[in-house]
Structure 1
Amino acid sequence: MPHKLRKVRKKRGSRTHGYGQVGQHRKGTKGKAGLHKHRWTYVIKYEPDYFEKRGFTSQKAISRKTNVINVGELDELAHKLTAEKKLERKQKKTFLDLDKLGYDKLLGMGKITKPMLVKVVAHSEAAAKKIEEAGGQILQEKG
């Protein structure tokens, strides 16, 4: 009569190791053993959050992105706002509130041709220099 080898010798990773449904063979456990195998229905019913994700969230993922605009884009932005009749004028100069428009920082790339009053939370030195050379001024907000 051939000897029946224990079925645990092979079928690694199989939930039932050849015994059909889980209830047809040994399934005893100690503690939390078998929760990903034969006690899976218990997990689904009574502890559905047991295998939830853990760990930490990287600071990069939650940090706020800075929305920037360059000095060279201000003329075009002013022209667009003029067409939409949303442009304000103060002291006979074009007034742009970049914070209301959704921008956090003004950078100095490009050229500006018209004198403007620009209200912004943060700006670079190059941007301030170019705006002042064109006859404008930066109104710094506390941010």
Structure 2
Amino acid sequence: MDLTRRKTKKFRGSMTHGRGKKAGRGAGLRGGRGNAGLHKHKYMHMLKYMPDHFGVHGFRRHKSLVKKDRIINVGQLEEKFPGKKEIDLTKEGFDKLLGGGKINTAIKIKVKNASDRAVEKIKEIGGEVKIELKH
């Protein structure tokens, strides 16, 4: 391993490093700092190396157009519909049945969509789930 360092000879005594008196001041040498000039003198560079830099990309649908499913959990069925043996959740305004909570009574349920866990829980206690096909 060489412990002696090689002496640097480059521009040691020069204050301007070959740029003259005023040329090396500021960021004028490189056309501005950072992203300066991307719409002007660095436009071709921007088009080639970062074409997606400007503008908005993609879109998001308006909230009024996005339909969210109204959901209900298995554990909420007995408290929302006490004493009922058959429930049409579609008529009640629900779109999907999920498997959260516990249920103790066997119920026949008609719904647009249901999770596997919800169907399993209702069938375990002797109930039935009829899933309507979406058109």
- Using the size of structure 2 for normalisation, the TM-score is 0.52
Task: State how far apart, in whole Å, the 2-side matches of 1:101 and 1:58 are.
Answer: 30
Give the total of aligned pairs.
76
Runs of 5+ consecutive residues of structure 1 not aligned to the other structure: 1-55, 88-93
- In the TM superposition, structure 1's runs of 4+ consecutive aligned residues that sit over 2 Å from their partners are none
Residues 67-106 of structure 1 aligned to structure 2 (within 5 Å): 67-79=70-82, 82=83, 87=84, 94-106=85-97
Q: Which has the larger radius of gyration?
A: 2
* CA positional deviation for 1:58: 3.0
Task: State how far apart, in whole Å, the 2-side matches of 1:95 and 1:104 are.
Answer: 16
Q: Deviations over 1:80-104 (max 9, x none)?
A: xx5xxxx5xxxxxx00000000000
Secondary structure of 1:131 counterpart? helix
Task: State how far apart, in whole Å, the 2-side matches of 1:112 and 1:60 are.
Answer: 38
Amino acid at match of 1:100: K
Residues 31-110 of structure 1 aligned to structure 2 (within 5 Å): 58-59=60-61, 61=63, 62-79=65-82, 82=83, 87=84, 94-110=85-101
CA RMSD of aligned residues (A): 1.8
Which has more helix, going by share of residues?
1
* CA positional deviation for 1:127: 0.1
Amino acid at match of 2:71: V
Show the counterpart of 1:12.
none
Percent identical pairs in the alignment equals 38
- Using the size of structure 1 for normalisation, the TM-score is 0.50
Q: 1:64 to 1:108 in 2, by over 3 A?
A: same
